[in-house]
Chains A and B, each alone.
Chain A
């Protein structure tokens, strides 16, 4: 989608949007939501800066959509307060909040044409048909929907419907864009294309955008900041690479990155000034050149597939169970005891399936976790140069 080259120009031209796009910061304070007795959100505190692209990500059912609907005003929070800039909007009607939303199901009105779908908000605020048409044509041009303006949604492809849904949001010239898994009904190629398109949209319009997905790749590629939700709570907030390098807990560590981080259960054997000696469940022991700044016991060692190495000098012995060659990289699955770990390498040396290999855990970057899943801070003692 090469959308939006001229979109700024186009957007400013209509009479409808003479007032400038104001950017708005969103502040959530202690937002809670319960459906009956089921707690879905347990106290969300978060500030989305104006103009920021924030992605809510988390497993299915963790409350992402609920949180988004609360921001939109479609759902009422059981407790807590919501501010746009400094204005309390907890009790403001959805249409008055200056938000537009793109739904996972697109939610296009099936009996209306594309043009009418996009300009329904203008119709409801009493703007005459002629002006609505002009506005629809402007936005349709940005999204390459011009030839489709008089069609009904049923006569569109999935990707076209998706663009109409985005168009309907753009028409309103909102302060805040909300997206609820807008790409999940598209095929892989179109998903990437549209992903790029939405990022572009954000750069051109500069609005505050909140985007919900359960796809960590979407989150990593699009977000200024990612909010990881787990069972109605924020597990961590941060820039994508921040979350990748410094996950605050095992949940975040496992959620960000593909393939998933390897988690190796360990027990601490001894702790020196610059060393940490760990034992695997198989009894094997090995040492890492790490300095721990806390005295919490290490129970879990996390290491990303790209940091693990198949190496004859490795600490852990295992058996190769599968090899996946993806072209640019190769994934090697190694069984150790009853666990399987993944190694990702860019070389195309590949051990044979069933062969014995050793896995090398480097001193860094590794992630250490204590019993409650929280990360344990540690320093690596770099070998002298």
Chain B
């Protein structure tokens, strides 16, 4: 008993050391950023860095005054609408691909994924011209749709893999119970696939929230997203390091909240029991 206890103790020790190291590695830059955001401009650039200073929250005030709230709003609209569109279009598509049989279905899923293999540069210019000609340039819709072209194939591909693992006997049982295809999807497949839907939502949200290149090309003033706004700060003559840090810290919050919310579905889904 005592020996067993000793072993688990050293086991724990090793595990905690590893976790601590990993946490330091991941969190140090964020902590550094957070500290920088509450320094004055001069203190933030001082070498060697000062560790003892009086916090100065004026950078956060400047987020409000500097028009960053608009960027946050744009980013949220783009990311959330992209999540919704990806799921609304991706789930039925994946269902059709896994539950209907034919030549089309076989080839389509690979073809869908191959869209993702095209380099981003190859699609940016056509997208720019397209949105310009239909007057959507510099709107959140344009960015959201552009993101959708990348997230939808990925989502379909992930969902197809998952839907395949759901036994088709469940569909058969539901059909005998009187369900049509949409009811099978809504009442059987989606509830079972909830953890996967949450994972897809997280991946899509984070992608959209962080994406820079498309947002940069397709927006100028009105629909600027947070990453674009931060980048534009770095370009100005007066290099406002605390402000950049403050925006970066603030931009983490929505993603954290979203992931935390979606994560609950993953955990509760895992707890509700396997398919078989």
Contact = CB atoms under 8 A, between A and B. Distances in A.
Interface stretch (A100-108, A202-210, A294-302, A353-361): A100-108
B167 to A, nearest CB: 6
Contacts of A125: 178
A319 to B, nearest CB: 48
A111 B176 contact: no
B179 A154 contact: no
A100 B178 CA distance: 11
A143 B191 CA distance: 27
Given A107-B167, A110-B192, A154 B274 contact: yes
A110 B176 contact: no
A100 B175 CA distance: 10
Interface in B168-203: 169-170, 172-179, 183, 187-188, 191-192
Interface string A65-96: 00001001110000000000000000000110
B238 interface: no
B253 interface: no
B275 to A, nearest CB: 5
B173 A110 contact: no
Given A105-B169, A107-B167, A109-B188, A120 B174 contact: yes
A154 B272 contact: yes
Contact of A152 (B178, B183, B272): B272
Interface residues of B, number: 21
Contacts of B4: none
A121 B175 CA distance: 9
A108 B178 CA distance: 15
A72 B175 CA distance: 10
Interface residues of A, number: 27
Contacts of A108: 173
Contact of B273 (A101, A110, A121): A110
A189 interface: no
B18 to A, nearest CB: 33
A111 B175 contact: no
B169 A103 contact: yes
A154 B273 CA distance: 5
A243 to B, nearest CB: 30
B221 interface: no
Contact of A110 (B174, B175, B274): B274
Contacts of A172: 177
A109 B177 CA distance: 12
B272 A101 contact: no
Contact of A124 (B167, B177, B275): B177
B276 interface: yes
Contact of A111 (B167, B169, B173, B272): B272
Nearest to B272: A111
Contacts of A154: 272-274
Interface of A: 69, 72-74, 94-95, 99-101, 103-105, 107-111, 120-121, 124-125, 152-155, 168, 172
Interface of B: 167, 169-170, 172-179, 183, 187-188, 191-192, 272-276
6 contacts: A74-B175, A107-B170, A108-B173, A109-B173, A124-B177, A152-B272
